[in-house]
Amino acid sequence: MKREQLISAALGREQPDLVLKNAKIINVFTGEILDGDIAVQDGYIAGIGSYQGKEEHDLGGRYAVPGFINAHLHVESSMVTPLVYAYEELRHGTTTLITDPHEIANVGGLEALEDILKAAEKCPVNYYVMLPSCVPATPFEHAGAVLSAADLLTLKNRAGVLGLGELMNTPGTLGLDSGVMAKIHAFSDTVIDGHSPMLTGKELNAYICAGVRTDHEAISYEEAAEKLRKGLAVLVREGSASKNLESIITGVVRNGIDTSRMAFCTDDKHLADIRREGTIRFNIQRAVKLGLPPVKAIQMATINAAAVYGLKDLGAIACGYKADIAVVDDLTDFHVHNVYKDGIQLCDLPPAEDMTYNPKLLSSVCLAPLHESDFNIPGQEAYPVIGIVEHQIVTRKIMMKHSDIINGLADGTVRKIAVAERHHATGCMACGYITGYGLKHGAIASTVAHDSHNLIIIGDNNADMLAAAEEIQRIGGGYTIVCDGSVKASLPLELGGLMSLQSADEFIPELDRIIRMAYDMGVNKNIDPFITMSFMALPVIPELRITDCGMFDVNAFCIME
């Protein structure tokens, strides 16, 4: 920004580069909607009022709102590269991303993080990074890398780095684990994101005392309210698998609580859903339909998030702020008519070429040899079974008798689930049972398995589960569906086994096709076939999970015998 020129444009001494005429401007500071022009100079807002510019765009009375901020997300969950993802966000009005690249870091470590930071420089959005605190998430699994506090400190002062990503190892935090505490101390002068599902009472108090300032895991209004009362900023999540917005916002509207410490995020949303709905735009629309006043919803999507993360020139249409503006037709559906990033229309943004990624990330699937017998589960009197909860990523721990397991396998209510280490061919593997997934017959497999991203497979027979593993190895990571030894569909995710190198237009039809195939195979239509499966391997969200080391009781924080 050239400060002198900005001042001159504000005073009207010089014509600004661009003036957006006849706008209804959402003022996120006062909650008002004001008529006026927006003067833009060198990508920043010079003034609000009546201006003439070198170039003028008539908004025709449409609403000008600050560019939306997605307050917490993992780009890898979209399954495309940062550049492709950023353009999809931008077309729906999101101009700022606060990302946590712990997915790719669990595969490729510091080298992968370097690639992500370089990719961020090419993106047409404000692309911020929270350095991943948990690589791996727990010591009860094998990831592709291990990152210490010393490792993270090498990147702390890089451009675009805001702080420490979600602190998922809650038991390690409360237990004063030396490795966890070293990361907390190293980033105590920054924002530290939280991850505290269902944490309450004194344990929540202690967790916040570690320096945590946000949480995106609340699934109910009651949980969100306790976290707000104790000082956390609550990031209301609505993604492809985790749909928490309705429960939280309904409570907010009913109780009339202050929303100034609340923002919106997606956490994990795949690209096909983003193309259809957008991300933060969709969250605003849903919140307004639930009764939240439109300006409050916009504040949650803009200035609130900027305040939480200390982004002083973002989140408002005001003098000296970046000219990141979404133009919407109305305050009900929030259809995005146009987007300006740094005062440049989306359609006028110069094209950007994606970068060349580290070759190691393009050959990341390294499985030990597998056999059908590896999927056998020894007989015993009772088994812990993962119980899927629809529209959520929490699970239930269900103890089932051997006879009930046999009956469930026969009638389709119970399926096998397996996780095999896929980074270093260690041969580490565990098998168990899951209910609520569906799937009539066959096997579904993926290398997207939070957060260590080992190979995860759900199926009803050993032969198809083995065939699915072999197909994943062949395609270099991704999704596959196998039935009676035949591959029905595959979706390669060649970058780390997490992301495709295709364009959005190429990738989305393929993603839609394999999801439809999964539903045709009997997967529960109230869950996302692949995103829900991916979270079954995340051992930090209650109650029961599976890692390559075994069935994991999250509440007891241990591998089950």
CATH number at residue 271: 3.20.20.140
Residue with tokens 């907010």: 252
Q: Which residues pair with 40 in a beta bridge?
A: 18, 45
The reply to whether 272 falls in a domain is: yes
Q: What pLDDT shows up at residue 84?
A: 96
Do 421 and 527 sit in the same domain of this protein? yes
Q: What is the CATH number of the domain that holds 11?
A: 2.30.40.10
Residue 350 pLDDT exceeds 90 = no
Cis amide leading into 451 (omega within 30): yes
243-247 long-range contacts, CB within 8 A, separation 24+: 243/391, 243/392, 244/218, 244/219, 244/220, 244/392, 245/283, 245/286, 245/287, 245/290, 246/286, 246/290, 247/219, 247/220, 247/221
Cβ 105 vs Cβ 132: under 8 Å: yes
Mean residue pLDDT of the chain comes to 96
Confidence at 119, pLDDT banded by 50, 70, 90 = very high
Confidence of residue 185 (pLDDT cuts 50, 70, 90): very high
- Residue 550's domain spans which residues? 363-559
Strands annotated E in 141-187:
161-167
β-strands 126-131, 161-167 pairing: parallel
**In this predicted structure, what is the pLDDT of residue 363?**
92
What confidence score (pLDDT) does residue 2 get? 85
pLDDT number for residue 137: 87
User: Regarding beta strands 161-167 and 478-483, do their DSSP bridges make them parallel or antiparallel, or are they unpaired?
Assistant: unpaired
Residue 108: strand, helix, or coil: helix
Does position 518 have pLDDT exceeding 90, yes or no?
A: yes
Where a domain ends, among 299, 315, 331?
A: 315
Q: Would you say residue 339 lies in a domain?
A: no
**Of the candidates 315, 337, 354, which is a domain's last residue?**
315
Domain count of the fold of the chain: 3
CB-CB contact of 508 with 275 (8 Å) = yes
Asked whether residue 346 is assigned to any structural domain, the reply reads no
pLDDT > 70: percent of the chain = 100
**Do residue 18 and residue 117 come from a single domain?**
no
Is 357 among the domain residues? no
Considering the domain boundaries, does residue 123 fall inside one?
A: yes
Q: Could you give the strand order of the β-sheet that contains 126-131, starting from the edge strand earlier in sequence?
A: 68-73, 94-99, 126-131, 161-167, 191-194, 212-215, 233-237, 262-265
pLDDT digits (tens, 9 = 90+) for 530-550: 999 999 999 998 999 999 999
18 lies in the same domain as 55: yes
Rounded to an integer, what distance in angstroms lies between the CA atom of residue 338 and that of residue 356? 31
At residue 522, the pLDDT reads 97
HSE at residue 543, side-chain half, CA atoms within 13 A, is: 12
Q: Is residue 353 part of a domain?
A: no
Whether residue 309 is found in the same domain as residue 401 = no
Domain boundary among 44, 61, 78: 61
Same domain, 52 and 85: no
Residue 255's pLDDT band, with cuts at 50, 70 and 90, is very high
Q: Say if residue 418 is in the same domain as residue 548.
A: yes
DSSP assignments along 57-91, one per residue? EE-TTPEEEEPEEEEEE-GGGGTB-HHHHHHHHHH
- 484-520 burial string, b = 16+ CB within 10 Å, else e? eeebbbbbbbbbbbbbbbbebeebbebbeebbebbee
With cut-offs at 50, 70 and 90, classify the pLDDT of residue 34: very high
Whether the Cβ atoms of residue 434 and residue 536 lie closer than 8 Å to each other: yes
Same domain, 215 and 110: yes
> Same structural domain for residues 90 and 120?
yes
**Residue 257 confidence (pLDDT):** 97
Which residues are CB-neighbours of 237 under 8 A, at least 6 positions away? Answer: 72, 216, 217, 218, 244, 245, 265, 266, 267
In the block, tokens 């833009």 appear at: 40
Beta strand 262-265 pairing with 233-237: parallel
Radius of gyration of the chain (CA): 24
57 and 87 in a common domain: no
Report the first-to-last Cα separation within the chain, whole angstroms. 61
For residue 322, being part of any structural domain is answered with no
- If asked whether residues 303 and 287 sit together in one domain, one would say yes
Looking at the structure, tell me whether residues 51 and 92 fall in a common domain.
no
Per-residue model confidence as pLDDT tens digits over 455-494 = 999 999 999 999 999 999 999 999 999 999 999 999 999 9
Q: Within this chain, do residues 287 and 418 fall inside the same structural domain, yes or no?
A: no
Strand partners, 236: 264
Q: 345 in a domain, yes or no?
A: no
